[in-house]
A and B are shown apart, each in its own frame.
Chain A
Amino acid sequence: MNPGTTTSIKRMIRQEVFPTPFCPGCGHGILLGAILRAIDELGWSMDEFLFVSGIGCGGWIPSPHFAADTLHVTHGRAIAFATGAKLFNPELKVVVIGGDGDLASIGGNHLIHGARRNIDLTVICANNMIYGMTGGQVTPTTPHGAYTMTTPQGNPERPFDLCQLVAAAGASYVARYSVYHVRQLIRSLKRALQHPGFSFVEVLSSCPVQYGRRNELRSPVAMLNYFREHCVPISRAHTMDSAELADKIVIGEFVR
């Protein structure tokens, strides 16, 4: 069986949990597959892993799907729970998966302190730029001007650049991709998983139901096209001025 194929990664999922709870067009399922493909291509066993996740649709990516040890915790606290498990048993490969609200808003303090400690965790942020599970409220990564249930006039605040944030705090592997860029994403996840120290991968994920439909990206395809058109690799971003970059999302590996 070729590693990374659909048949191969099926073994890594608890079959009894299908169908997944994700809405049609949700990017979290693509990310779920990408994480398993990365692990499978590395040839690692799920028994070596502990997946820790918080509350939100993003937190449901590993729990209960992954056939491994999973710890599904309180909203925002996954990195702190993971810190305890990893420190006590350093043999565990500990991966944290959470949404943008979970990791960057309520859990922002644990995120920067995890990065500062440079503790050996892989943190994957499923960033759909919205509180998906609670019905579409603004998060710290919602773009300026975007419409949400709590910004009916458009978001008046600026979003975090999560990659810059964790890089400044001391993370030693930092990358950003979207669920449109699956091959690059899998390659990056493999590097993050192999990296000793705090590795952070931000993954722009599509949420046509709670984000897209209020921002002229109603269909799943429109959201993926949005990522295709707005994401520019670091190398190209270097050649662009700030006006050209204004509505762009820079993707690639920021810290290696």
Chain B
Amino acid sequence: MSAQGWQTVSSVLPPGRYFLQGDEACAEGAIAAGCNFYAGYPITPASEVMERIARRFQELEGRVFVQMEDEIGSIAAVIGASWAGAKAMTATSGPGFSLMLENLGYAIMTETPLVLVDIQRAGPSTGQATRPAQGDVFQARWGASGDYEVIVLAPWSVADMYWQTIRAFNLAEQFRVPVIILGDEGIGHLRERVDILPEVRVYNRLKEQGKPPFGGQLVPPMPAFGEGAKLLVTGSTHDPWGYRRTADSRVQAELVDRLSRKITERREEIVQAEAFFCDDDPELLLVAYGFTARSAYRAARELRMQGVRAGLLRLATLWPIPEKTIREKAACARHVLVPEMNRGQLLREIQRIVPHAKGYNKTNGEVITPGEIIGAVREKIG
């Protein structure tokens, strides 16, 4: 792998204006971030990520693609490759994400950088493969067993998919964690303009040897297999050098604590939210993410034209939740509305921060339109 820490590299795709699908932009973002290993299994609406990678990796040097026998094997191969020094990714949708959860927990426990993309479709179970939904908010947060923190990003445009995928790799490498991109069929299959800039900022993990790879500091260094470090990697409770300590309560407590603290203590470096029409302390605040945030943006603009002081807070990170920003922006809002393509998942978390928040929810496999959000607002504020 190239130099460690922050680097400026040229974008692999020649700079310019492109017309891409969300899934394709995800693949290109990964390539720009230095992704050199991909393992996956076909599933609608995420297959185009894998197909784009399969084709592009052929054209580029030193990048390995493999289609695995299932999603369990896909994330397993990604973790194996990551420890061999790769920047590795897999993409799937709800059912495949469910299959990955045990090994997602393994990646959290072993502090393995990787990017897991979930292009959400309507569920539960096989549900509607080609229809959008936002039903995996809590699967992403709590799907694996045990106690942990997790980073989840939610792109809202094709261009954002490109940049968020790059950011996902950078966060994964900086914090030694799996990072989840929670897309949705709406964004994954949308086609729109993406401006590719000539340069990209990327972060490459620190690999220093001689220091414990599983402790001693918030984010320990991570040498790769084959570098002579004699690594002991295990998903069982382990001490800073990787030795199993499956009955030591102190080691268990310290490990779980540090794995969480490496995210909670640096939360402000991770969380991102964008405010629109919020300069005058709106009376109505929409809080939205993913495809739904596009409709919310349009709804807020139209409500403004109709004389309603409406604003939008678009969440780019779902977990950790941008709690401070939500609290600030909602401080003066008499009404807070959270539209989601689920039965009110992120709403629960928003209500923890802003108790009077209400939801607008839809689970028929269709996106929420600006008109529906405006209608819901009119119903609430008259």
A91–B226 CB distance below 8 A: yes
Bound complex: CA A70 to CA B83 (Å) = 10
- CB < 8 Å: which of B72, B77, B103, B225 contacts A50? B225
* Binding stretch for chain A, among B132-140, B191-199, B231-239, B362-370: B231-239
In the complex, which residues of chain B have a beta carbon less than 8 angstroms from the beta carbon of A50? Answer: 84, 225-226
Contact flags (1/0) for A223-245 with B, using CB distance below 8 Å?
A: 00000000000000000000000
B225–A80 CB distance below 8 A: no
Q: CB-nearest residue of chain B relative to A52?
A: B80
Bound complex: CA A50 to CA B227 (Å) = 11
In the complex, which residues of chain A have a beta carbon less than 8 angstroms from the beta carbon of B70? Answer: 109
In the complex, which residues of chain B have a beta carbon less than 8 angstroms from the beta carbon of A176? Answer: none
In the complex, which residues of chain A have a beta carbon less than 8 angstroms from the beta carbon of B76? Answer: 73-74, 77, 80-81, 83-84, 110
Q: CB-nearest residue of chain B relative to A21?
A: B244
* Binding stretch for chain B, among A23-31, A60-68, A191-199, A211-219: A60-68
Q: For residues 77 through 128 of chain B, which have their beta carbon under 8 Å from a beta carbon of chain A?
A: 77-86, 88, 102-103, 106
B72–A77 CB distance below 8 A: yes
Contact of B230 with A by CB under 8 A: yes
Bound complex: CA A46 to CA B82 (Å) = 21
Q: CB-nearest residue of chain A relative to B82?
A: A84
Known contacts A77-B103, A109-B70: does B81 contact A88 (CB below 8 Å)? yes
Q: For residues 235 through 250 of chain B, which have their beta carbon under 8 Å from a beta carbon of chain A?
A: 235-236, 242-244
- CB < 8 Å: which of B37, B81, B103, B232 contacts A64? B232
B84–A72 CB distance below 8 A: no
Q: CB-nearest residue of chain A relative to B75?
A: A80
B77–A80 CB distance below 8 A: yes
Q: CB-nearest residue of chain A relative to B229?
A: A69
Interface centre among B64, B79, B84, B88 (most CB of A within 10 A): B84
In the complex, which residues of chain B have a beta carbon less than 8 angstroms from the beta carbon of A63? Answer: 232, 234, 244
A88–B64 CB distance below 8 A: yes
A87–B226 CB distance below 8 A: no
- CB < 8 Å: which of B81, B224, B242, B243 contacts A84? B81
In the complex, which residues of chain A have a beta carbon less than 8 angstroms from the beta carbon of B229? Answer: 69
Residues of A within 8 A of B (CB-CB), count: 32
Q: CB-nearest residue of chain A relative to B86?
A: A88
In the complex, which residues of chain B have a beta carbon less than 8 angstroms from the beta carbon of A68? Answer: 230
In the complex, which residues of chain A have a beta carbon less than 8 angstroms from the beta carbon of B73? Answer: 77, 80, 83, 109-110, 113
- CB < 8 Å: which of B78, B225, B234 contacts A69? B225
A70–B69 CB distance below 8 A: no
Known contacts A52-B80, A69-B225, A71-B80: does B66 contact A87 (CB below 8 Å)? yes
Bound complex: CA A73 to CA B104 (Å) = 12
Contact of A89 with B by CB under 8 A: yes
Contact of A82 with B by CB under 8 A: yes
B77–A87 CB distance below 8 A: yes
Bound complex: CA A81 to CA B112 (Å) = 12
In the complex, which residues of chain B have a beta carbon less than 8 angstroms from the beta carbon of A48? Answer: 226
- CB < 8 Å: which of A17, A67, A92, A113 contacts B230? A67
Contact of A161 with B by CB under 8 A: no
B39–A84 CB distance below 8 A: yes
Q: CB-nearest residue of chain A relative to B242?
A: A64
A69–B80 CB distance below 8 A: no
Known contacts A80-B73, A110-B69: does B85 contact A71 (CB below 8 Å)? no
Contact of A47 with B by CB under 8 A: yes
Bound complex: CA A108 to CA B318 (Å) = 37
- CB < 8 Å: which of B64, B106, B228 contacts A74? B106
B80–A64 CB distance below 8 A: no
- CB < 8 Å: which of B36, B69, B232 contacts A113? B69
A238 to chain B, nearest CB (A): 35
Known: A84-B82, A85-B83. 13 other contacts (CB 8 A): A48-B226, A50-B225, A64-B243, A70-B234, A71-B80, A71-B83, A73-B76, A80-B68, A80-B72, A83-B77, A85-B81, A87-B81, A92-B226
Interface residues of B (CB under 8 A from A): 36-37, 39, 64, 66, 68-70, 72-74, 76-86, 88, 102-103, 106, 224-226, 228-236, 242-244
Interface residues of A (CB under 8 A from B): 17, 46-48, 50, 52, 63-64, 67-74, 77, 80-89, 91-92, 109-110, 113
24 sample A-B contacts, Cβ–Cβ < 8 Å, listed by A number: A47-B228, A64-B242, A69-B230, A70-B232, A72-B235, A74-B76, A74-B235, A80-B74, A80-B76, A80-B77, A83-B77, A84-B37, A84-B66, A84-B76, A84-B81, A84-B86, A86-B80, A87-B64, A88-B37, A88-B88, A89-B226, A92-B225, A92-B226, A110-B69
Closest 9 CB pairs of A and B: A84-B77, A84-B80, A80-B76, A80-B73, A84-B81, A81-B80, A85-B80, A72-B234, A88-B81
